[in-house]
Structure 1
């Protein structure tokens, strides 16, 4: 198969770029061809592409791209010239130009759309009127024309039904995956702490995601303020790029005199990310809305006990298996969860072991990537 992925394939986009990277690597292993078409701005940093994958960056076209996400005249021109070369065009996300343009061109090539959590009620409320207008004009009509809609979980199934008003005829539930083998050997304990001046005996709480209110920072910060009042030795590490909430975060730290207890380290990747997970006593993501959180999968794969909301994309599985500590979306609940995990060694060990087992059995990238490739093949053989 010749597969085209369309997504802003940059470091700043977060999980979708990593998801495409991992799936593309398996597709190449299986003998398929993969191209990634990525709208970007001049200062964006492209995510690396797996060996054998063709990466095509195209510039966004301002000022329209400031209103209509990812609008790019070069993207449209490239698609117009090349879309007929592909068997599958896979659009990642909705509400942006790259998820609409293929439907405006070739009518024959099979088109797949992954929702990535963007029909969640919280996500819909964000920029509501812009999304409402886009829905009326184009988005619903074109989504109905997709040959396959990939969702990550049953929650997204309900979101899709509510949005369209009827069941789409071709929907596949395929979760995100992660290369479990990458976490078999982690950097030595203490490496991340030494880099950032965090003593070995200091309990380290790790938040590793974009600094965005959607990620629950408005819950975590007051929860940590209350926790550290009872446990003054605790340290909160915020690892992620600014996505609209860093000024508010820094103001909270300043107003509550938390300079010695909170460390912002910016985005971390590769071995630095693994070193942080290896040194953390607990990972926390009380998110309001996720398609299927790669950060949570990474924490579990690394054996880091996790505190998460049930909105991270596989909350029901976590509830059924006990693979992490589930918190309600309130500061008090997050603070209580910190108490429960950090002060109970047996419970820490339980969720660490259960989380790793869950990822290994259900979410290894080869397992889930083969499910997606099978869906592609089914589309091509369908009459």
Structure 2
């Protein structure tokens, strides 16, 4: 059994949150002890201390600003983190990096405490630098690389991502390619004749139209407007585009593309409802300009939904060789203008793509495979640093 201090996010909902919660839960189920250290204390009065009980699985740190993208900790956060780690005495610290100034201080802190340090590095990318957003994300990689080189291990989601960090100076031996994993017993196609109350509720709201689905943040890098422009140009008869999520662009886009064949579902906190939405969808579309390895895409694939995504980040690798349809990040509206009528007219093709998508997840992207690899990484690291065990 390994005792793990997991530093990550529990809110607001994003891929980092899903990754941290699912991974720590799976590690606990395998007998490991996890302490989840996260930013969740915005109004902690001066003098009130963070919980440091050794048997308390969660520790909250104070912050000034927290968003889906980045976190600005309180000036007290580093001290409270140091006190927490000294009290908990974990075997390993695993930081699911939150794009926070603390990320750059962790190597020194853990070295002082004699604790092995693992990072999972989430920021999206497009190795081709084909757009302004990709260039901005590349700058974040350049900013982080010197700090990541001082972590004992850095988990990334694809070989392409590892290649980028290696070129920026992170030693190859410190990089571990461990793709995201999905619980395929939970994310799965609806059984024939399934009539659960959640599924009925979702179907009632969706109506009788065939469903094309986007699920994720509504922000510039997700390129949702390109999908909406293509949908308006094509207006596929008998189909409905469902947009699930929230973000800085939502209100502007909703005001511009508020038509009967577009359903703005909004942010959905209930995971059972998100599962039902994927099960009801015929096609999932992810038009991102940059990505890491999209959990929403893997969830759609595991649900047996036909998937269309750009080749940003590792998403093209996930869908290659017929597991889905891969677009370039350039000219997404034009490509979708061609693809949407084909997908509308070929439901048999969609069914086959959905079958292949689920098979790909079962072969490569299950949560159990992900946890196996993380356990092996911990064991290897602790074997090399016995003083931390």
Please give the range of the TM-score, normalised by the shorter of the 2 chains: 0.7 to 0.9
Aligned counterparts, 1:266-345, within 5 A: 266-268=266-268, 269-311=270-312, 313-320=314-321, 322-329=322-329, 330-345=332-347
CA distance in 1, matches of 2:168, 2:256: 36
Kindly indicate whether the alpha-carbon contact (under 8 Å) linking 2:117 and 2:152 is maintained by their aligned counterparts in 1.
yes
> Which one of the candidate residues 240, 246, 252 is aligned to 2:250?
246
1:58 aligns with 2:61: yes
| Rounded Cα–Cα distance in structure 1 between residues aligned with 2:372 and 2:133 | 29
The C-alpha deviation readout for 1:239-258, integer Å capped at 9, x for no partner, is 012x21113212321xxxx4
Cα distance in 1 for residues equivalent to 2:102 and 2:109:
12
Could you tell me how far apart the structure 2 residues matched to 1:21 and 1:8 are?
9
- Would you say 1:159 and 2:142 are equivalent positions? no
- 2:97 aligns to what? 93
Query: Displacement of 1:163 after TM fit?
Result: 3.0
Partner Cα distance (2:134, 2:82) in 1: 30
1:202-281 maps to which residues of 2 (within 5 A)?
A: 202-228=209-235, 231-241=236-246, 243-253=247-257, 258-268=258-268, 269-281=270-282
SS at match of 2:238: coil
Which residue of the partner structure matches residue 47 of structure 1?
none
Q: Are residues 1:37 and 2:37 paired? A: yes
Alignment of 1:123-134 (within 5 A): 125-126=135-136, 131=140
Q: Tell me, which stretches of 5 or more residues in structure 1 are unaligned?
A: 44-51
- The match for 1:193 is 203
How many Å apart are 1:284 and its aligned residue?
A: 0.9
> Are 2:181 and 1:177 equivalent residues in the alignment?
yes
Task: Flag the 1:156–1:82 CA change in 2: closer, same or farther, 3 A.
Answer: same
Give distance in 2, aligned partners of 1:355 and 1:218.
Answer: 25
Deviations 1:126-162 (A, max 9, x none): 3888x59x93xxx443211110011110220222134
Q: CA separation of 1:312/1:223 partners in 2, compared to 1, >3 Å: closer, same or farther?
A: farther
Cα distance in 2 for residues equivalent to 1:302 and 1:37: 31
Aligned 8 A contact 2:7 2:36 in 1: yes
Give the Å deviation of 1:286.
Answer: 1.1
User: How far 1:77 sits from its partner (Å)?
Assistant: 2.2
Structure 1 residues 142, 199: closer, same or farther in 2, change over 3 A?
closer
CA drift at 1:97: 2.4
Distance 2:166 2:61 in 1: 33
Give me the whole-angstrom Cα distance separating, in 2, the residues matched to 1:128 and 1:171.
18
Q: So what's the TM-score if we normalise by structure 1?
A: 0.84
State the alpha-carbon separation in 2 of the partners of residues 292 and 342 from structure 1: 27
Q: Give 5+ residue unaligned stretches, structure 2.
A: 44-54
Distance 1:305 1:21 in 2: 27
Asked whether the 8 Å contact 2:110–2:116 carries over to 1, the reply is no
* 1:117 CA drift (Å): 3.3
1:349 matched residue in structure 2: 351
| C-alpha distance in 2 between matches for 1:232 and 1:354 | 26
**Contact 2:254/2:264, CA 8 A, preserved across alignment:** no
Work out whether residues 6 and 36 of structure 2, in 8 Å CA contact, stay in contact via their aligned partners in 1.
yes
Paired residues, number: 355
Change (3 A) 1:168 1:71: farther
* Deviation digits for residues 164-205 of structure 1 (CA, Å, limit 9, x no counterpart): 3x64431111000011111347464654131x2x432x2221
Is the Cα contact below 8 Å between 2:3 and 2:34 reproduced in 1?
A: yes
Q: Distance in 1 between matches of 2:316 and 2:154?
A: 21
Q: TM-score, normalised by structure 2?
A: 0.83
Report what 2:381 is aligned to.
379
Q: Does 1:25 align with 2:28?
A: no
Q: Are 2:149 and 2:174, in contact at CA under 8 Å, matched by a contact in 1?
A: no
What is the rounded CA distance, in whole Å, between the counterparts of 1:369 and 1:29 in structure 2?
A: 11
* Shift of residue 82, structure 1, vs aligned partner: 2.6
Q: Which residue, 102, 109, 120 being the options, matches 1:114?
A: 120
**How far has the Cα of 1:35 moved from its partner?**
1.3
CA contact (8 A) 2:145 2:165 kept: no
CA pair 70-304 structure 1, distance change in 2 beyond 3 A: same
